[in-house]
């Protein structure tokens, strides 16, 4: 039996002048994601159609569609030439494995097809009851599934029962470009995923503290970035060595400001890299009150060294809610692998929870900030994931 995949996007975002831009990006993102698969792609009244694919590829296609922001729902439909017999046969096949209550919903774009939509639904519903009356019952108010019949203008009809939910959101690339500060933790991959889902194309930056943090810690971050990249049409990860900066802070500044000063360096380096790469914002996984470095005073201190907008999609999330998303996007198990993060290496016993900005600046004045940042840029590793 011939099948096609109907892809729907959220109409709500399509109003006004952005519609064409949105549609084009989504189309390109779908094609790019399915580039290793043979199929034909067509547009049909605010929907896309994937046809002429190998049925064996369906699971791979579905898995990829689930990761494309902007895809609202999709359905695998049986495609037949529009005759009542063909439609009935397809309906019978689709209901073979079904049980419970159902209703038939017909949408007749081809007005030359007779009878009308209601009559078609009633006719097909009646025939299904004749065939499967032992296990199926009609319930038009609250059915356990619906059988959809889409009679198109071109003489083809689509019949389907299942509607899979996609990510929704906006096509990646439609909301600009940003640089995600990615650690090995639970939060930053989730922050990246949520931002990509809203249409921002991401690059990633990770600070590595070799030899305090080892190869395994870096591999873990590569793995996490790759997972975020699945929602981003691939991703570039930049790894910057942070060791000399941590050592300089450790040697020259009061211990209580270790984290605060590290954060300021991270932000400055992020901003410089972002500008180089054309990223318009910096994204972090910070969440209010989660740890000492995530008080409003700490955020004020790190925010004040950059002018690019800093997006913190998790700022008001509870940890359990973040973990739930981490599980959903399959980063959680990797995030909890017990490798050192650069922030834990020089962790002070009593970090300043509400750092006073003037005192922070005084502590920082002991350092040659520009030289330390220049040194960090001497060796930037890039991974295309």
Q: Which does 206 bind (CB under 5 to 8 A by kind): Mg ion, ligand ATP, none?
A: ligand ATP
Among 70, 166, 185, 313, interactor with Mg ion by CB under 5 A: 185
Residue 203 Cβ vs ligand ATP, minimum distance, rounded to whole Å: 12
Strand partners, 145: 102
**Is 45 in a helix, a strand, or coil?**
coil
How many binding residues for ligand ATP (CB under 6 A)? 21
Please tell me whether residue 109 adopts helix, strand or coil conformation: coil
Q: How many CB atoms lie within 10 A of CB 158?
A: 24
343 binds ligand ATP (CB under 6 A): yes
Chain centroid to CA 330: how far? 12
Q: Are 291 and 187 in contact (CB under 8 A)?
A: no
Contact region with ligand ATP (CB under 6 A), list: 34-42, 87-95, 110-118, 201-209: 201-209
Q: How far apart are CA 376 and CA 238, in angstroms?
A: 12
Letter string b/e over residues 353-367, b meaning 16 or more CB atoms within 10 A of that residue's CB:
eebeeeebeebbeeb
Contacted by 293, from ligand ATP, Mg ion, none: CB < 5 to 8 Å by type? ligand ATP
CB closer to ligand ATP, 249 vs 343: 343
For residues 314 and 191, the answer to whether their CB atoms sit within 8 Å is yes
301 binds ligand ATP (CB under 6 A): no
> Residue 63 class from Cβ within 10 Å (0-12 exposed, 13-18 middle, 19+ buried)?
exposed
Cross-strand partners of 138: 102
Q: Which stretch binds ligand ATP (CB under 6 A): 7-15, 115-123, 222-230, 339-347?
A: 339-347
φ, ψ dihedrals at 204, nearest 5°: -125, 145
Residue 183 sits in the site that holds Mg ion (CB under 5 A): yes
Site for ligand ATP, residues 165 to 184, rule: CB under 6 A: 181-183
- Stretches 45-53, 143-151, 278-286, 367-375: which one binds ligand ATP (CB under 6 A)? 278-286
Distance CA(285)–CA(3), nearest Å, equals 42
Stretch that binds ligand ATP, among 25-33, 55-63, 205-213, 356-364 (CB under 6 A): 205-213
Nearer CB in complex with ligand ATP: 41/339: 339
Summarize as ranges the residues that interact with Mg ion (CB under 5 A): 183, 185
Summarize as ranges the residues that interact with ligand ATP (CB under 6 A): 181-183, 185-188, 205-207, 266, 284-286, 290-291, 293-294, 341-343
């Amino acid at each position: 039996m011939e099948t096609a995949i109907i892809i729907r996007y959220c109409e709500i975002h399509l109003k006004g002048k952005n519609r064409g831009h949105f549609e084009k990006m989504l189309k390109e993102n779908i094609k790019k994601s399915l580039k290793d698969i043979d199929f034909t792609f067509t547009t049909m009244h605010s929907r896309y159609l994937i046809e002429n694919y190998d049925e064996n590829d369906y699971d791979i296609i579905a898995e990829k569609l689930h990761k494309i922001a902007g895809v609202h729902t999709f359905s695998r439909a049986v495609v037949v030439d529009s005759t009542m017999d063909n439609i009935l046969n397809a309906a019978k096949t689709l209901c073979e494995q079904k049980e419970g209550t159902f209703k038939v919903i017909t949408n007749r774009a081809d007005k030359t097809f007779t009878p009308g939509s209601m009559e078609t639904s009633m006719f097909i519903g009646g025939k299904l009851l004749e065939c499967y009356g032992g296990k199926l019952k009609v319930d038009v108010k609250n059915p356990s599934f619906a059988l959809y019949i889409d009679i198109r203008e071109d003489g083809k009809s689509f019949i389907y029962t299942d509607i899979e939910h996609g990510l929704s959101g906006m096509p990646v690339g439609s909301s600009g470009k940003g640089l995600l500060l990615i650690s090995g933790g639970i939060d930053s991959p989730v922050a990246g995923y949520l931002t990509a889902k809203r249409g921002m194309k991401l690059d990633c930056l990770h600070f590595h503290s070799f030899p305090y943090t080892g190869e395994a810690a870096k591999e873990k971050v590569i793995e996490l970035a790759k997972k975020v990249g699945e929602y981003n049409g691939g991703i570039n990860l930049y790894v910057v060595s942070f060791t000399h900066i941590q050592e300089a802070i450790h040697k020259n500044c009061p211990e209580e400001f270790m984290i605060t000063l590290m954060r300021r360096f991270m932000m400055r380096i992020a901003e410089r890299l972002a500008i180089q790469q054309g990223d318009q914002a910096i994204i972090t996984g910070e969440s209010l009150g989660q740890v000492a470095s995530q008080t409003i005073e700490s955020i004020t201190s790190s925010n004040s060294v950059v002018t690019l907008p800093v997006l913190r999609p998790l700022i008001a999330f509870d940890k359990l809610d973040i973990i739930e998303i981490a599980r959903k996007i399959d980063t959680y198990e990797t995030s909890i692998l017990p490798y050192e993060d650069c922030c834990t290496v020089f962790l002070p016993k009593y970090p300043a929870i509400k750092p006073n900005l003037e005192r922070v600046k005084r502590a920082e004045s002991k350092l040659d900030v520009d030289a330390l940042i220049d040194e960090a840029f001497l060796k930037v590793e890039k991974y295309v994931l």
